[in-house]
Structure 1
Amino acid sequence: MTSTPDRPGDDVAPLAAADSLRLIREQQDRARAALEPDGRALYGAWGVAWLAGYLVLWASARAHGEPEPWAFWVFAGAIAAAVVFTMVHTISRTAGTRGVSARTGAMYGWSWMLGFLTFSVFLGGLARAGADGEVMALASNGGACLVVGLLYLGGATAFGDRSLFVLGAWILLVAGAATLVGLPGTYLVMALAGGGGFVVMAGVEHLRILRRRRRTDDGGGRA
C-alpha cells in the first residue's frame, strides 16, 4: 500500500490557526492593558510628588529650623495633584469595563479622595486638641503614608497586583521609620525612601511590561 505524498496545502490550516490564536491573544492583552490602571503612570506621579514635596520641606526646615508656610503649600499641591491624577487615571481606565471590574475601579479611585479627606479632618482635630508643631508634622507625614500604603494594599487585592502589594508594604515601613527619625530628617527619609521607592517601582513595572511584550513577540515569531 503506497502512501500519498503530503500536499503543499496540508499544513496551511494549522499555521493559520496558530496565527489566529496569536492575534487573538495579543488583542486580549492590549485590551486588558487598556482597561487596567498603568502602574508606571501611578508610581511615577507619586514618586515625583513625594520627591519634590518632601525635598522642599526638608530644604526649608534645614534653612529656617522648620519648614516655611510656602513649603507646606508646595507639598500639599504636589500631593493633591497626585491624588487627582490617581482618581482620574483609575476611573478613566476602568470606565470601559462593566460589572464588577467597573465598580472595583470606581470604588478604588474614589477611595483616594475619601481617605485623604478624612485624614485632613483628623489633622484638624489634632490641631484643635492643642497638638504642637512637631506632633502635627510627624502625624501629617506618618498618616499620609499610612493612607497611601493601605490604599495600595487594597488596590493589590482588588487588581491582583503583587508589585502593588510590595510597594504598599514598603510605604508603611517608610512611615514608621520616618516617624522615628524625627524632624527634619523625617522629610529626607520620606523623599528618598518613599519617593525613591515609587520611582524604582515605576522602572520595575516598565521592565516587566517590556519582558511581557518580548515574550509575546517571540512566541509570535515561533508560531
Structure 2
Amino acid sequence: MTSTAAPTAARPADGPEAPAGHPPGEVDNRAAYTGFGLAYVLGHGSAAVSEGDQPLLELPGWLPMTLLGTGLLTGIAQATAAALRAQRGAAAPDVLSGKLLGTAWVVAFTALALAITGLTSALDAPELQAVLWPTGSGLIVGLLYLAEGAVRRNLLHYGLGVWLALTSAAALALDVPGPFWVLALAGGGAYALATVLEHRRLRRPPALRAGF
C-alpha cells in the first residue's frame, strides 16, 4: 500500500510568499492615510487658527510646520513600508511599476521646490511660500495618488487623489488663513474617511477590492 503526499503550493519565483490576506501587489494604505491625515489636521489646523490678521490663537511660528512635517514624514514612511510589503511575491512588472511610482514622488516634489523657488524669486515675494508649499504639496500628492490608483486599479486611492488635487488648487483662491482651513478640514476629513473605507475595502475578497 502506497501513500501519496499532498501537493504543496508553489511559491512565486519572483520572491517570498506574500502576507496572508494580502495578495502580491496589494497595498494596505491605512497607516499612511492616518499619518497624512494627522499632518493635515494638526499641521494645517494649527496654521489656520494662528495665521491671518485676526488669529484665533497665538502659537509659535515653528509649530505648524513642525507638526505638518512630522506627520508627512510619518505618512511617507508608512506608505513606503506598505509598498515594499506589497512587492514581496509580486510579478516583475508590478515591482517595476512600484519602483517607478516611488521615483515619481521624488521627481514631483523636486519640481515643486524648483517651481516655488523660481516663482517667489521672480515676483520678489518670498512670503508666498507659506501658502504655495501647503497647497502645492496637496496638489502634487493628489496627482500622484491619481497615478497610483490607476496603476493599482484602486478606485479609493484614485478618488482621494481627485479630491486632494481639486481642493488644494481651489484653496489658492482664498485669503490667509482660508487655504489652511480648506486643507485641514477638506484634506484631513478626506483622509479620515479614506482610512475607514480602506479598512472595509481590504476585508473584501481580492477580486472585489478595486471599488470603494
TM range (shorter): 0.7 to 0.9
Q: How does 1:84-123 map to 2 (within 5 A)?
A: 84-123=77-116
Structure 1 136/29 Cα, relative in aligned 2: closer, same or farther at 3 Å? closer
Q: How does 1:19-38 map to 2 (within 5 A)?
A: 30=20, 32-33=22-23, 35-38=25-28
Q: 2:178 aligns with which of 163, 175, 185?
A: 185
Confirm or deny that 1:42 pairs with 2:32.
yes
Q: Is 1:50–1:195's contact at 8 Å kept on the other side of the alignment?
A: yes
Match of 1:195 in 2: 188
Match of 1:131 in 2: 125
Match of 1:19 in 2: none
Question: Which is richer in helix?
Answer: 1
CA distance in 1, matches of 2:203, 2:80: 26
Q: Deviations over 1:123-142 (max 9, x none)?
A: 22233331241x32332122
Cα RMSD between the aligned structures? 2.8
Q: Quote the offset at 1:28 in angstroms.
A: 9.1
Q: Is 1:87–1:112's contact at 8 Å kept on the other side of the alignment?
A: no
Match of 2:147 in 1: 154
Structure 1 39/30 Cα, relative in aligned 2: closer, same or farther at 3 Å? same
Match of 1:174 in 2: 167
CA distance in 1, matches of 2:142, 2:58: 29
Q: Which amino acid aligns with 2:159?
A: V
The alignment of Structure 1 onto Structure 2 pairs a total of residues equal to 187
CA distance in 2, matches of 1:67, 1:115: 30
Q: Flag structure 1 segments of 5+ consecutive residues without an equivalent.
A: 1-26, 216-223
TM-score for the superposition, normalised by structure 1: 0.72
CA distance in 1, matches of 2:100, 2:132: 26
Asked which structure has the greater CA Rg, the reply is 1
CA distance in 1, matches of 2:62, 2:121: 19
CA distance in 1, matches of 2:111, 2:84: 20
Match of 1:53 in 2: 43
Secondary structure of the structure 1 residue equivalent to 2:90: coil
Q: Deviations over 1:80-108 (max 9, x none)?
A: 33223323331342143231011111221
Q: Quote the offset at 1:163 in angstroms.
A: 1.1
Q: Quote the offset at 1:182 in angstroms.
A: 2.1
TM-score for the superposition, normalised by structure 2: 0.75
Q: Quote the offset at 1:63 in angstroms.
A: 4.9
Confirm or deny that 1:68 pairs with 2:61.
yes
Q: Quote the offset at 1:29 in angstroms.
A: 9.7
Identity of aligned pairs, percent? Answer: 25
Structure 1 110/203 Cα, relative in aligned 2: closer, same or farther at 3 Å? same
Q: Is 2:171–2:178's contact at 8 Å kept on the other side of the alignment?
A: yes
